[in-house]
Structure 1
Amino acid sequence: MTASLVPTRTTRRFAALIAGAALAISATFGATFNAPEASAAPAGSADAFLKATGQPGPHRIPGHYFTSPGIPQAQRAAAPNVLAGPSMPIYVGNNICTLAVVGYDKAGNKVGITAGHCGKPGAPVTSMDSERAGQIGTVVRNGYPDYAVIKFNNKVRLTRSYNNVHLNALGGPTPGSLQQMCKTGVATGTSCGPMLAISGPFLVSHLCGSVGDSGAPIYVGNRLIGIINGGVANLPSCTTPLQGPFHAPTAGAAWNVIAADLNAAGGVGAGFRLA
């Protein structure tokens, strides 16, 4: 895909947000990130008030007032190549999601993992931080529970450190009850919250999340433990810090389960290791 064929940033953001509910479905809980303002940002004085009372920008997803991760200087320095790492915002087709982790499989392919509902096999992937580079990969498989495997092309350089996320280990012990875990996504930035429960392959925690955060890394220290998949229960997603703790808990697929499925399925992604 050439740069001229990539829709503008504004066009693609609104195309993704109009279909907001479809971006955040949890296969187990049957719930969505409930973001009624996802199809259109608040207008006039309401929007100005929320910006003034929210976190400092950038606010990269309309209708959300948390500090989104910016474009790292390392990304700009990598041009004309594209740097890919954990928490990088991506377009999967026209859907906005967040990359959980990147690395190599046992065949040496450059691969990345995001949420499965972000796109089906064949969907093109573009970096939201380097749109002019055009397509950097393709979704090659959806797996259980709700994850997608992206195969990157030769434009991509991989890193295990991107913005404030630094991953040095994968999986390991499941966090204990009320243990703090963190996530970084394009809509709501970096936030931490307590582990609440385990439901099948999903870790349920009181992390702040919303449309665009799907696929974001969930980590404890420098260890990836899961990826964001969706909200739990009929509660609103995080859109403004004014909500405080009154937002939906978050369901995230456990990395240990994803890794086992990658290896069982074989093909692209099997034998995944960090970059």
Structure 2
Amino acid sequence: MLRRLSLIFAALVVIAATLGVGTATAAPPRAVLGGGSGIVLDDMYECTLTTIGHDNGGRLVGITAGHCGDAGWSVAPEADPDAGVVGRVAVSNSDYDYGIIEFDPAKVTPVDTIGQVTITDIGMPAQFPAVACKQGRTTGHTCGVVYGDVLQTQETWTQMCVVEGDSGSPVVVGTTLVAMVNAYVGVACLGPELGTNMLPIIENINATGGVGAGFRPI
């Protein structure tokens, strides 16, 4: 009887080896994202995340420049390509040039500090002669004097260095997010840089409702 059982066990071992036994694989680590992180939209367009937080629906959302992508486009972290798609553009607003990204909370770890920029709150536009700084995926951390809303168009002009790929970068005074990078005038890094003020963006998001309404940073 014992010999018969041993033969049956041996046969089962052979069958298992032939068919293969599945092994557990660990899920990839969550991508760390915050204001200043590089993001890739639709697998080809590189921009910068302005900020990340939650809306009044409890969703994990981020803000970036609207010209970076259309609604439905995929979003992946530039610094962690193995993470794959971690979110999608939910809203793209051309009037204020902002985009709202809804992230998968199972794939993203939100943080308030990227590089040399920390975001603790959202505040009033900066005025001359304040110094503002930004963190961008292309030119990193740069600072410059603030000229203010030169054309009264809800855009703050500064002398920070920005180039392509820095679109969406958070513009901060201290740890207060005051604007996002949208464009520059003239020659890259000679400026001036144009950043849409954050309070009008937040007001528009709240008035529109849906994804992003009630946004609060991490």
Q: TM-score, normalised by structure 1?
A: 0.66
Aligned to 1:222: 175
Q: Secondary structure at the match of 2:58?
A: coil
In structure 2, how many angstroms separate the alpha carbons of the residues matched to 1:249 and 1:139? Answer: 28
How do 1:31-180 residues align onto structure 2 when only pairs under 5 Å count? 80-93=29-42, 94-143=44-93, 144-153=95-104, 154-171=106-123, 173-180=124-131
Query: Unaligned stretches of 5+ in structure 1?
Result: 1-77, 239-246
Structure 1 segments of 4+ aligned residues over 4 angstroms from their partners? none
Deviation sequence 1:57-77 (CA, Å, 0-9, x none): xxxxxxxxxxxxxxxxxxxxx
Q: Secondary structure at the match of 2:144?
A: strand
In structure 1, how many angstroms separate the alpha carbons of the residues matched to 2:34 and 2:125? Answer: 23
Deviation sequence 1:213-245 (CA, Å, 0-9, x none): 00000000010001000012xx2103xxxxxxx
In structure 1, how many angstroms separate the alpha carbons of the residues matched to 2:115 and 2:32? Answer: 11
User: Is 1:253 the equivalent of 2:196?
Assistant: yes
Q: Secondary structure at the match of 2:191?
A: coil
Q: Secondary structure at the match of 1:125?
A: strand
Query: Unaligned stretches of 5+ in structure 2?
Result: 1-26
Aligned to 2:164: 211
In structure 1, how many angstroms separate the alpha carbons of the residues matched to 2:167 and 2:198? Answer: 14
In structure 2, how many angstroms separate the alpha carbons of the residues matched to 1:121 and 1:174? Answer: 27
Structure ranking higher on relative contact order (CA contacts 8 Å, 6+ apart): 1
Deviation sequence 1:110-130 (CA, Å, 0-9, x none): 000010000010110000011
Aligned to 1:263: 206
Which structure's residues are more often strand, by fraction? 2
Deviation of 1:178 (Å): 2.1
Letter in 2 for 1:248: G
Which structure's residues are more often helix, by fraction? 1
Percent of paired sites with the same residue: 35
Aligned to 1:197: 148
Asked if structure 1 preserves the Cα contact closer than 8 Å seen for 2:155 and 2:195, the reply is: yes
Deviation of 1:82 (Å): 1.1
In structure 2, how many angstroms separate the alpha carbons of the residues matched to 1:159 and 1:79? Answer: 18
In structure 2, how many angstroms separate the alpha carbons of the residues matched to 1:142 and 1:174? Answer: 22
In structure 1, how many angstroms separate the alpha carbons of the residues matched to 2:60 and 2:111? Answer: 11
